[in-house]
Structure 1
């Protein structure tokens, strides 16, 4: 038993050392990859045509519903049809001779951008690059930009910049549609309201036109343990509330005044972009689900992004545009670990919930 105990202790020490070494290696590799990423530009532009994707899905399902003989006949007819279409396109292009009229004859294009917001609106840089790329080729009055937006909001200055990127599209007179399938609240709605048209799924969360700030204060705990904490500033309003110092009524009031001013700017921003909205009725920080949001004119139509884009394929070439950074080994490991932890957490929550229901 003593041998087994010593052996178990030895294994525990070895495991601890191995984990520590792996963490150190991961940190070093991550730093190296970050530096290398900074040197290799702003990421890789990727495009994907949704028309082709929906067509392949349709053809795949159709072929699976046929028997072998029917499938052979159908595939043969489809091959002839595609060849005839390609031939007709080539003849048309040759006859047109690539004249200036080609731009008028081509189908409209719908450029699809994705934005998944966190508290810092970290996707803003990728959005900026995507918008710049699209604006270099999009034609005002003919093409459209669709943004699939998901965000519960976050830092005011971060989402202000993200909304300003969408303003660039609107300022170029290019039709802008925002699709919300889950949530566009607070800073997320600040971005959505820029659009000419907002579409949301039936139970998407929208609104939360308000401003919130919160921070703990440990002054009494420090004072109880005879710990002094001093805040030195040059400028009356350089620091209003602190985490460790003693907060004053004057500082607290200044902080509240700043929040109110930010809220006023938020309301003005939304009101300018959606003039038909009763901003006083919807700017109390409340949220609305899709159908209710339509009633108060926070959105223009109830529909999922899939439904909208699928219908757009009938009238235009629908192209998904995005910039992507290749994840380093350390980033992939970290992402896999965080995903595993998140899945485990929700599995435990789900099990607990089911037990309570039973």
Structure 2
């Protein structure tokens, strides 16, 4: 028994060694690899819906009913083949925003691919989910959506959960905004928070110096001593960003009463329509289902295939970034946030 025990332990160690060596070899091999170019996947939502419907029918209908249904569909298919009617084409994009609007680059690539189709687009639907973030990042994301509008292509934004602050900045670019009954809409305001550790440093006899070339290169600081003049300048800058935000909103939705809604407050979908913040109360699922009745609907998604080492590094970085972003959400130092 002792021999078997030792032999089993030996096998376990050997297997562990082989696995570790294999991982190391894989990592070394992936170091020299380059990330593969963006891959654009296209899913025909009509086909997906049809498959689900047929699966359900096969479970709940009798053989006779299924036979009659198949005959009817065959007749309808032949009629469609003879018909010269061309169905509309609708394209769907997803945007799940974080503080840095990290998905902006994917959004840019998807929109660039779409615009290369020229006049073969009847509508673009973008499902936006975001509570906002950095001003310049969300300004860039909104400008990508504006590329669709500038080509005269109808743009619809669907919000199922939240499009607040920077997320709402993106939404107002659309010709039509549709939100679920309890989706969070609005938050037309700007926030910037930061702690100051100057008293703590002084308590421990730690000096901290900040040198700038330009009076307003740095206003408030984390570790230096803040002045009333710096605070006033900081508040002025904050107000300026808010004015820009409000002007952007009014330039795209002139039926909004900014005096009532540009106070940083939020509304749920069923109340947001009363404030003209949205145009329709519905889920994206219901809207796309209705579009599938009259158009071919395609879901576009771009993704970058990375080598193994980069994927492992990205996973670790994502975990760290999540923690950092949660901290930044609370502190928000040195940057303006919508």
TM-score (norm 1): 0.76
> 1:201 Cα shift?
0.2
Query: Given the alignment, which residue of 59, 71, 89 partners 1:77?
Result: 71
| 5+ long unaligned stretches in structure 2 | 1-16, 323-338
CA distance in 2, matches of 1:325, 1:218: 41
Residue 301 of structure 2 corresponds to residue 319 of structure 1 = no
Q: 1:192 to 1:30 in 2, by over 3 A?
A: farther
How far did 1:84 drift? 3.5
Q: 2:204 aligns with which of 225, 238, 241?
A: 225
Evaluate the alpha carbon distance shift between residue 138 and residue 239 of structure 1 in structure 2; reply closer, same or farther with a 3 A threshold: same
Equivalent residue, structure 1, for 2:165? 186
Q: Hey, what's the Cα distance between the residues in 1 that align with 2:312 and 2:294?
A: 39
Counterpart position of 1:63: 58
Q: Structure 2 CA distance, aligned partners of 1:312 and 1:159?
A: 28
| Relative contact order higher in (CA < 8 Å, ≥ 6 apart) | 2
Distance 1:233 1:327 in 2: 41
Superposed, which structure 2 residues align to 1:196-207 within 5 Å?
196-207=175-186
Contact residue 63 and residue 71 of structure 1 kept, 8 A: no
Query: Which ranges in structure 1 are unaligned for 5 or more consecutive residues?
Result: 1-17, 94-104, 343-358
Q: Partners of 2:163 and 2:201 in 1: how far apart?
A: 40
| CA distance 1:30–1:180, change in 2 (3 Å) | farther
What is the Cα deviation at residue 258 of structure 1? 0.6
- TM-superposed CA distance for 1:325, in Å, is 1.9
Contact kept in structure 1, 2:188 and 2:263, CA below 8 Å: yes
Aligned partner of 1:137 among 117, 120, 123: 117
Deviates more, 1:237-246 or 1:177-186: 237-246
Correspondent of 1:107 among 77, 87, 97: 87
1:298 to 271, 277, 289: 277
Displacement over 6 Å in runs of 4+: 28-31, 336-339
Aligned equivalent of 1:36: 34
Distance 1:203 1:111 in 2: 25
CA deviation after TM superposition for structure 1 residue 32, in Å: 3.7
Map of 1:166-177 to 2, 5 A cutoff?
A: 166-177=145-156
Instruction: Summarize the Cα distance change of 1:245–1:148 in structure 2 as closer, same or farther, 3 Å threshold.
Output: same
Shift of 1:173: 1.0
2:246 is aligned to 267
Change (3 A) 1:172 1:240: same
The answer to whether the Cα contact below 8 Å between 1:267 and 1:279 also exists between their aligned partners in 2 is yes
- CA drift of 1:324 comes to 1.1
Aligned counterparts of 1:220 and 1:75: Cα–Cα separation in 2: 78
Please name the residue that 2:103 is paired with.
123
Q: In the aligned structure 1, how far is the partner of 2:74 from the partner of 2:271?
A: 50
Per the alignment, residue 285 of structure 1 pairs with 264
Take 1:122 and 1:30, find their aligned partners in 2: how far apart are those partners? Answer: 28
Q: Deviations over 1:247-305 (max 9, x none)?
A: 11111111111110000000000000001111121000000000110110100000000
Instruction: State how far apart, in whole Å, the 1-side matches of 2:274 and 2:83 are.
Output: 48
Structural RMSD (CA)? 3.1
